[in-house]
């Protein structure tokens, strides 16, 4: 803590100055390219969002000689420029929890920023309760491979990057499609099923043989009772 009329707090990613006489806060930050545990990155971004707000902020802390201080002040009221990155970080944490991936995933701010839109889209697509999807198929209603008495089972493979990790998910969408204006089908799924989650890290590669085996298992599960449509080329996974 500096002398005079200021208090300074310098952390791993921020520099905060409290002007005691003015009741004003001043801060700068630099997350750099270092990878953080995701909860730390979330906390860092939430802290910046708080400091950018126009509300009065109360700080309470103890000095090394055990003196307690309570300081209230207004932040600079600047625009929080990293809401997209904060949303993507929190989406990543929800995805990892939902999929039971408890390994120590780390990511840098630039990595989250670069893949933010993909991460947030991945969260929506892989949420089994979110059926707000629309699939367009080029298959025509008179295709001889189709059985009009059967529902469709449409299988997609989705993936996203989370720092040094990649997560892939096989998803099956089930329902009865309706003819589209383009001559194909449009499916608004009635059910979404997460078939398998496959993760890859620098120490844990995602083998092509594992992907091929998973596709074979999904085909065996649905082929006899549904019109099965794969939304990927299984030879290029």
**pLDDT at site 125:** 94
Beta strands 152-162; 227-230: pairing state: parallel
Percentage of the chain beyond pLDDT 70 is 86
Closest CA to 57 of 46, 66, 65: 46
Q: Dihedrals φ, ψ of 192, to 5°?
A: -130, 130
| Angstrom distance (rounded) from CA 228 to CA 155 | 8
Torsion of CA 122, 127, 131, 134, to 10 degrees: 20
Q: Dihedrals φ, ψ of 52, to 5°?
A: -85, -10
| Angstrom distance (rounded) from CA 151 to CA 194 | 18
Is the model's pLDDT at 210 over the cut of 70? yes
Is the model's pLDDT at 77 over the cut of 90? no
Q: Average pLDDT over the chain, rounded to whole?
A: 85
- pTM of the predicted model over 0.75: yes
**pLDDT at site 103:** 72
Q: Give the model confidence (pLDDT) of 88-145 as tens digits.
A: 999 999 999 998 887 778 999 999 999 999 999 999 999 999 998 888 888 866 778 8
Q: Could you please report the per-residue DSSP string of 130-159?
A: -----EEE---TT-TT--TTSPEEEEEEEE
| Angstrom distance (rounded) from CA 129 to CA 193 | 9
Of 44-53, 62-71, 101-110, 127-136, which one has max mean pLDDT? 127-136
DSSP character for 66?
Answer: -
- Cβ count within 10 A of residue 43: 14
Is the model's pLDDT at 13 over the cut of 70? yes
Q: Give the model confidence (pLDDT) of 16-34 as tens digits.
A: 777 766 666 677 777 888 8
């Amino acid at each position: 803590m500096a002398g005079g009329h200021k208090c300074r707090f310098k952390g791993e990613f921020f520099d905060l100055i409290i002007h005691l006489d003015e009741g004003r806060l001043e801060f700068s930050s630099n997350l750099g390219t270092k990878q953080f545990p995701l909860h730390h990155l979330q906390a860092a971004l939430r802290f910046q969002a708080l400091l950018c707000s126009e509300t009065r902020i109360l700080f309470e802390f103890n000095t090394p000689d055990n003196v307690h201080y309570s300081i209230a002040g207004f932040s600079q009221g600047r625009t929080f420029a990293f809401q997209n990155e904060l949303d993507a970080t929190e989406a990543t944490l929800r995805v990892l929890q939902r999929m039971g991936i408890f390994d120590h995933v780390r990511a840098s701010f630039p990595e989250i920023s670069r893949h933010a839109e993909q991460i947030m889209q991945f969260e929506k697509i892989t949420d089994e309760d979110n059926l707000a999807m629309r699939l367009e198929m080029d298959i025509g209603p008179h295709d001889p491979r189709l059985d009009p008495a059967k529902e469709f089972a449409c299988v997609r493979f989705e993936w996203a990057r989370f720092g040094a990790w990649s997560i892939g998910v096989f998803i099956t969408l089930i329902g009865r499609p309706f003819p589209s204006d383009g001559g194909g089908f449009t499916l608004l799924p009635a059910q979404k099923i997460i078939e398998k989650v496959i993760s890859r890290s620098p120490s844990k590669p995602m083998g092509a043989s594992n992907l091929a085996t998973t596709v074979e298992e999904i085909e065996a599960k649905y082929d006899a009772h549904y019109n099965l449509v794969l939304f990927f080329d299984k030879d290029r996974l």
